[in-house]
Amino acid sequence: MNLKELAQHLNLSQTTVSRALNGYPEVRDATRKRVQEAAIAFNYTPNTRAKALATGRSMSIGTVIPTSNKHEMVNPIFGDFVTGASEAYVKAGYDMVLTLIEDGEEERLYRAIRAKGNVDGIMLHSPTMDDPRVGLLKELGLPFVVHGRASHLPPDYSWLDMNNKRAFQRATAFLLELGHRRIALINGLEQQDFAFRRRSGYVEALAQHGLTEDPALMTSSEMTELEGYRAAHRMLALPDPPTAFLCSSMLMAIGTRRAVADARLDLGRDVSVITHDDDLSYLKNGQDVPIFTATRSSMRDAGRRAATMLLQQIAEPGGQPMQYMMEAELIVGQSTGPAPRR
C-alpha cells in the first residue's frame, strides 16, 4: 500500500493524506482522523527511499569504525555505546548505518558518504590526536559528534569523552598508596587519543609520587586478550617484575590475569590486576578496595548522550558545538592482592 493507493481509497488527494499523516496544521480534524485510521487499517508505512529523496534527508545516522584501529568493534564496551545510541536514534525515527572501513581511504570515503547522501550525520569513534576526519567533516558540512577527542585540534567541534587521564591518574595513585612501586601499564594503541591520555594520567601520578615511568613496564598495543597476555607475560619475566597491572580494557585484563595466573607459582605471590572498562557493578561493596571502571550502563548512557547531541546538531546545522565529559566511576571491587614487599 502506497500513498497514492491510500489516497484513492479515501477519495482524497495524496497531498492531503500526506499532510494529515505528517501533522500539518491545515488539515481538518475529521479528515486527519479518517486518514490516520485508514493508514493503520491498511498497514500503511511511507517508503523510506521515496521520502528520503523527496525531503533530502535520509533519516539515518552513520557510525564509522575504521578497522585500522583494529578490534574496536570487538571491544565489549563499544556494543554498549551503540546500544545506547540506537535507543536515541530509534526514538527520533532514525536508522543507524554501520560502516566498518579499511584503513587509509578516509578522505575518499567521507566524501563519498557525503555525496551518496545516505546519512544525515556521523558518529566518529576512536579519533587520533590530530584526526584528519574532524577537519574533513567540518569542511563537508556533515554534522558529526566524536566519541573521544582529538587533543591536538582546536576544540571547536562536538565531542563526548571519558576523562581518561583523570581515571588513570586516580587508579595509579590508588595503587601507589597501597604501597605498589612497580606498576605496569597495559595500554591500547597510543596513536588513539584516549590511550595517550591514559598514559599521561599514569605518568602524572607516578611523578606526583616522585617516581619516573619505566619504559619496560609500559606497553601499547591492540586491546585484545592476546596482547594483554603477551605484554604481561613478558613483564613478569623481568628481573624486577611489576607488583600490579593497570589495564586499558577488559579484554587486555583477561589476558593479563591469565599471564599472572601462570606466573604465580614462580613469583611466589599474587599480582594485582585492575582495569578500565569492566563491569564490576556486582562487586560493589562486596570486597575491600576501590577500582576505577566505566561500567556497561555508563557506556550505554554515553551512547545515548552522544546520539542526542548528534541529533541536535542535525536539527540546527549552524548551532554551537557541544561537549560532554564523563568521569569514570569508582567501584569497590576486586581485590588488588597483597601489598608488595618493600
Partner DNA sequence: TTGAAAGCGCTACCAC
Partner DNA sequence: GTGGTAGCGCTTTCAA
List of residues contacting its own copies (CB under 8 A): 1, 43-50, 52-53, 58, 60, 63, 67, 73-76, 78-80, 82-83, 86-87, 90, 95-101, 111-112, 115-118, 224-226, 229-230, 250-251, 254-255, 257-258, 278-283, 296, 334
Choose from DNA, its own copies, none: what does 164 bind? Cβ within 5-8 Å by kind: none
Query: Is-contact 307 146, C-beta < 8 A?
Result: no
DSSP 204-235: HHHHHTT----GGGEEE--SSHHHHHHHHHHH
- Shortest distance (Å) from residue 59 CB to DNA: 10
Query: Is-contact 142 114, C-beta < 8 A?
Result: yes
- Shortest distance (Å) from residue 116 CB to DNA: 9
Q: From CA 133, how far away is CA 38, in angstroms rounded?
A: 47
Segment contacting DNA (CB under 7 A): 46-54, 76-84, 130-138, 151-159? 46-54
CA distances from 235 to 41, 183, 275, 291 (A): 68, 10, 17, 22
Pick out residues in 138-157 that bind DNA (CB under 7 A).
none
Among residues 60 and 323, whose Cβ is nearest to its own copies? 60
Among residues 92 and 339, whose Cβ is nearest to DNA? 92
Looking up cell 609520587 gives 209
Q: From CA 286, how far away is CA 264, in angstroms rounded?
A: 24
Looking up cell 581485590 gives 335
Helix, strand or coil, per DSSP, at residue 29 = helix
Among residues 76 and 132, whose Cβ is nearest to its own copies? 76
Choose from its own copies, DNA, none: what does 3 bind? Cβ within 5-8 Å by kind: DNA
Among residues 67 and 208, whose Cβ is nearest to its own copies? 67
Query: Is-contact 94 117, C-beta < 8 A?
Result: no
Q: Where are the beta strands (DSSP E) in 114-242?
A: 121-125, 144-147, 159-162, 183-187, 218-220
Q: Does 21 bind DNA (CB under 7 A)?
A: yes
Pick out residues in 55-94 that bind DNA (CB under 7 A).
55-56
Q: Residue from 23, 26, 239, 341 that binds DNA (CB under 7 A)?
A: 26
- Shortest distance (Å) from residue 54 CB to DNA: 3
- Shortest distance (Å) from residue 48 CB to its own copies: 4
Q: From CA 123, how far away is CA 61, in angstroms rounded?
A: 8
Choose from its own copies, DNA, none: what does 58 bind? Cβ within 5-8 Å by kind: its own copies
The dihedral over CA atoms of 107, 134, 300, 52, expressed in degrees to the nearest 10, equals -60
Q: From CA 188, how far away is CA 277, in angstroms rounded?
A: 12
Quote the distance between the C-alpha of residue 262 and its chain's center: 32
Choose from DNA, its own copies, none: what does 26 bind? Cβ within 5-8 Å by kind: DNA
Among residues 39 and 326, whose Cβ is nearest to DNA? 39
- Shortest distance (Å) from residue 17 CB to DNA: 7
Among residues 26 and 288, whose Cβ is nearest to DNA? 26
Q: Count the alpha carbons within 13 Å of 297 in the hemisphere toward its beta carbon.
A: 4
Q: Does 315 bind DNA (CB under 7 A)?
A: no
Among residues 59 and 136, whose Cβ is nearest to DNA? 59
* Residues that bind DNA in the complex, under the rule CB under 7 A: 2-4, 11-16, 18-19, 21-22, 25-29, 31, 46-47, 50-51, 53-56
